[in-house]
Chain A
């Protein structure tokens, strides 16, 4: 599914990622953990194609296609989804209008017709129910005045609508209370299949109780310094990161 080879990336000439190798197969859940400033969010931004980051070496390959020259929206059309740590507020654009536009642009890129309004509505309702989202919420401006929990739930709602091949969850647990965390994790788990993959980026082991990873990687100073099974997360929780430095 996703293959990252010797990835180096920098922003404003400062190197953040210093040679990352990562292989994610279809149906797998991977977790990347690491202390602040280790490059976790940079990695997710680079995979999603944020223009501020410059890839100086190495490559990101999705289903045998090098993503290097693709714009963020083209990557999205190929099936990459990034759930933001800090979802952006967009006043004046409702959740419904936003997701409609996203779905139809993605369909357009694939040479499909727009989804008929009736089917769109049905799909929106179905996925909103999955995330226990109130209907009224859908006509509010995107993320404007949303609580932390609402923002993250809305991210997973969009993921449910777009059905990505690779979902990257960047610190999805931050700002969530335990009930919201369960709803979000439950949503992710329901969307999981043998054909798609999930990359969870997190500080804490807490989220991994609910979204159980097949592999855990520790990112430190722009490199993956240790990989292991889900028990590695528990070990990190207990010992911290210092023993790996």
Chain B
């Protein structure tokens, strides 16, 4: 039985276990989603959007869909993956199941809890019906697949005029109790008018076993709200991630999604912004540092539908050994979206002959009074700069690191949580194989 068949046949069992009222809205959403998935199947390289990323070898695994955790996971096992030196709310999932023991949730001024309870409790029915799967639907078969099995993940519901006092950390761990595991976290984030929240998300495999994560996050940003969402992708080399994040923004809101891809075997990021009002700002920042045979594919979309909005996109990539990268940045400026400012920049450095990047800026502009720009570069480290630095006594390895840090610095500079910035800087240093003898 191939993976698709296995998923489709598991659906009924999953639904029956879920304890959902079969008349509920969520049930019908899931049923439609599995039908879509069954029809579409997994994407192949024949799909334009998947031309440079193949899931074939990944889908050959015999994934366990509902893994059981056999070994107890304590705080000491997961501590190093948390940003520890800040106060935060934490939502920790072990093999796709919420760990109340390790987590720190709240219902005080806002809801920071788990989706599984939100989906079943009458109290949240309105929110779920209004938002759940409203932007992710009919998007792609992998999101449909996630929707069909959507049960566990973060549910973050911030009422209006609320500044969430500390960042929220969402961590998904796999313990590898079974050799090949597929997990499908689903997050729903609703941020009310004038509210502000910062979220840090991470997927981490605690074993050497194969893990495929197919995650979907929907984020709704209401009038004048501000959302900063940070994704740390530094997983082991037997872990792959397909991450789809959909952001819907109302007028005067500001949403920023930062993606740091340093690890994993195969990572595919679908990041899409939809504008539902004027004077919206969307920020997309990303940095990928890869080696060995790692592959990262960043697919982004900003859909400008209304006038006077802006988007700023900055993606940088450093590719060593035989690693491969994809950047596909699509910006649509619809006819009504006059006075749009849309900026996109994508810079890549190839460190070795075997590394490659496929970069595709894609601008579709239908309005005539707009400012749109895109810049895309692919290059190598500047040998003359290296010699210059060496001639001042800086060894080649450190000189390279200094140049690469400088290259990625404008992405790192955008991190608004200082402790997170320190952590990311350290991760970059580790991935470049240097000790930091300098600061930025």
Complex Cα distance, B399 from A166, in Å, reads 22
Residues of chain B within 8 A of A97, CB atoms compared: 438-440
Inter-subunit contact B392/A158 (CB<8 Å)? yes
The contact size tier of chain A is: 35 or more
Interface centre among A81, A88, A141 (most CB of B within 10 A): A88
User: Between A and B, how many residue pairs show CB distances below 8 Å?
Assistant: 82
A90-B385 CB under 8 A given contacts A73-B395, A76-B391, A77-B393 = yes
Q: CB-CB contacts of A104-117 with B at 8 A, as 1s and 0s?
A: 11100100000000
Chain B contact surface mostly? helix
Taking the complex as formed, is A101 at the interface, i.e. its CB lies under 8 A from any CB of chain B?
yes
A117: min CB distance to chain B, Å? 10
Residues of chain A within 8 A of B384, CB atoms compared: 88
Inter-subunit contact B382/A105 (CB<8 Å)? no
Inter-subunit contact B390/A76 (CB<8 Å)? yes
Residues of chain A within 8 A of B366, CB atoms compared: none
Inter-subunit contact A76/B396 (CB<8 Å)? no
Q: CB-CB contacts of B235-261 with A at 8 A, as 1s and 0s?
A: 000000000000000000000000000
Taking the complex as formed, is B375 at the interface, i.e. its CB lies under 8 A from any CB of chain A?
no
Q: Which of B46-54, B96-104, B185-193, B402-410 contacts A (4 or more CB under 8 A)?
A: B402-410
The contact size tier of chain B is: 20 to 34
A91-B406 CB under 8 A given contacts A100-B438, A104-B437 = yes
A92-B406 CB under 8 A given contacts A101-B437, A162-B393 = yes
Complex Cα distance, B403 from A187, in Å, reads 29
Interface centre among B384, B395, B407, B410 (most CB of A within 10 A): B395
Inter-subunit contact B393/A102 (CB<8 Å)? yes
The 4 A-B residue pairs whose C-beta atoms are closest, nearest first, are A92-B406, A72-B390, A76-B393, A106-B393
Q: Which chain B residue lies CB-closest to A107?
A: B393
Q: CB-CB contacts of B400-440 with A at 8 A, as 1s and 0s?
A: 00110111011000000000000000000000000001111
Chain B interfacial positions (CB closer than 8 Å to A)? 382, 384-385, 387-396, 398-399, 402-403, 405-407, 409-410, 437-440
Complex Cα distance, B395 from A141, in Å, reads 20
A93-B406 CB under 8 A given contacts A84-B388, A88-B388, A100-B438 = yes
Inter-subunit contact A101/B391 (CB<8 Å)? no
Residues of chain A within 8 A of B407, CB atoms compared: 92
Inter-subunit contact A92/B409 (CB<8 Å)? yes
Since A101-B394, A162-B392 are in contact, a sample of 16 more A-B pairs with Cβ atoms closer than 8 Å, ordered by chain A residue number, is A48-B391, A49-B390, A49-B391, A72-B390, A73-B393, A73-B395, A80-B391, A84-B391, A88-B382, A88-B384, A90-B406, A92-B407, A92-B409, A102-B394, A105-B394, A105-B395
Q: In residues 66-101 of chain A, which contact B (Cβ within 8 Å)?
A: 71-73, 75-77, 80-82, 84, 87-93, 97-101
Taking the complex as formed, is A206 at the interface, i.e. its CB lies under 8 A from any CB of chain B?
no
Q: Which chain B residue lies CB-closest to A114?
A: B437
Residues of chain A within 8 A of B387, CB atoms compared: 48, 50-51, 72
Inter-subunit contact B396/A90 (CB<8 Å)? no
Among the listed A88, A101, A141, which residue makes an inter-chain contact with B402, where contact means beta carbons less than 8 Å apart?
A101
